[in-house]
Amino acid sequence: MTERPIDIQNAKAGYGGPLVFEHLTLAVEPGEIFGLIGLNGVGKTTLIKALLGLGEAEGVFRFFGEDAAKPESRRNLAYLPEKFMPSHLLTGWEFLKLTLDFYALKLDRDKACQLAQGLALDPAALSKRGRQLSKGMGQKLGLMASLLTGLPLLILDEPMSGLDPRSRILLKDRLIEYRANGGTVFFSSHILSDIEEICGRIGILHAGKLIYVGTPSDFIARHEAPTLERAFLAAITEAENKPGA
């Protein structure tokens, strides 16, 4: 696919009070890992929900050139929400099959077992029901379901949440593999070291605006910082100190 996986133009959203964001324009290119960064509560999840039609917003939202408001526009993407937990009643295998059935895809158990091991999840856990899984195990199951679709676009809201350091490292490896196989990944996070390591481009959302879109290295250089974390701190401090901020 040559169309942009995500195209957002002049987006605006609020909750009947102050706007969460406005005049927000963003494009995600095919075959990239794009990281959306921001403090807690700045609107990262609101933006993702608006894009997916799960929240009210104004503006233009497109997936691969199609109006995102049309259900068929979402046939080429998989989405994992923040703080995901699978159904308490389904086993891991049942959940994976149900997810792939939704996309008319067949569950390959050997591939699923390999992926589970690639996320530091014992394949035996897939026979357990959701209520028997820890937060981290449930998160890995959701990630497995998304990755197994092999769809052109993954949208992941705080995918590192609930994962221990080893699992975070392994997930980064899996996302890099996904991109290498032709996929595009758009995810939000406040763990900047993860963003810096795997993202070709980033967007910094702060005070209702995207204050930066570009490569992590250019962002670090712009703020003459040693790390992305320090550059981020410098950027939001600068934004907050601007007149009228």
For residue 126, which phi and psi values (nearest 5 degrees)? Answer: -70, -15
- Report how far residue 154's alpha carbon sits from residue 185's, in angstroms, rounded to the nearest whole number: 5
Q: What is the pTM of this model?
A: 0.94
Are 141 and 96 in contact, with CB atoms under 8 Å apart?
Answer: yes
In the chain the domains, ranked by start, together with CATH numbers, are 1-76+153-161+182-245 (3.40.50.300), 83-151 (no CATH)
| pLDDT tens for each residue of 94-129 | 999 999 999 999 999 999 999 999 999 999 999 999
- Residue 211, H or E segment: strand 209-214
Are 27 and 8 in contact, with CB atoms under 8 Å apart?
Answer: yes
| pLDDT tens for each residue of 60-101 | 999 999 999 999 999 999 999 998 989 999 999 999 999 999
